[in-house]
Amino acid sequence: MFDGNFRASVDKVTEPMGRGLHAVGLSPDAITGVGVIMAGACAVAIGTGNFFTAAVLLALTGLPDALDGAVAKAAGTSGSRGAYLDSVSDRLSDGLLFAGAGWYLAGTDEPRMAMLPFALYIAASLVSYQRAKAESLGFDAKGGLMERAERFIALGFGLVVSSLFVPVLWVMLALTAVTAVTRFIKVWKQATAVRVVPEGAARPQLFRTRTAAARRHRRSRTETGRRKR
């Protein structure tokens, strides 16, 4: 939801910052690495119950995630290799954050609540996988109520208002599950509309349109979003 509605506005802010960071010699890889380190530190703070510190570190985790692509674009090194590294680091950062939440809940009076962040991570991973797989097949799986940006914002709210930490996790799980189901139905409908083409037969217009859309999407990601090594 955030990615689709506010990405252009965010890019207007991050692109000048990316040019500035590139000018002082920072590389996209280094910025991505800092983001992962910040996520690890945030996970430790959550696990030890230092929620205010965790909220600050969570904000610091989000900055590199927003800026590494802008630096790569400023450097003229956007490409599929950087996109791959960025995606892997995002999944690692998510896992660290949810592990920290699980560690904290395991030490409470209801240790079984540690399964809540675990379930949330499964749902979040499914949402991310659905988009990646759909796009590799030429389909569109964007959108939903709880994408990665929304998860960061919701988790930050739960850390700041610590009394609502567990309820916020439940809301995140519910909305992430809705997002996963919504994306599945969206891609399922697109895939159902595409006829299987026998080998050697002429491809229908719908099939050509889908594959052309996939090529355009890959070119767009290569040119605007990520880094090439």
86 is catalytic: no
Among residues 90, 94, 109, 140, the one annotated as catalytic is: 90
| Block residue for tokens 């207007």 | 12
Q: CA-to-CA distance for 99 and 112, rounded, in angstroms?
A: 14
What CA–CA distances, in Å, run from 16 to 13, 27, 69, 180, 193?
6, 15, 12, 34, 42
In a 10 Å sphere around its CB, with 0-12 CB exposed, 13-18 middle and 19+ buried, how is residue 72 labelled?
buried
Helices of type H across 24-147? 28-47, 51-75, 80-106, 115-136
What are the catalytic residues? 90
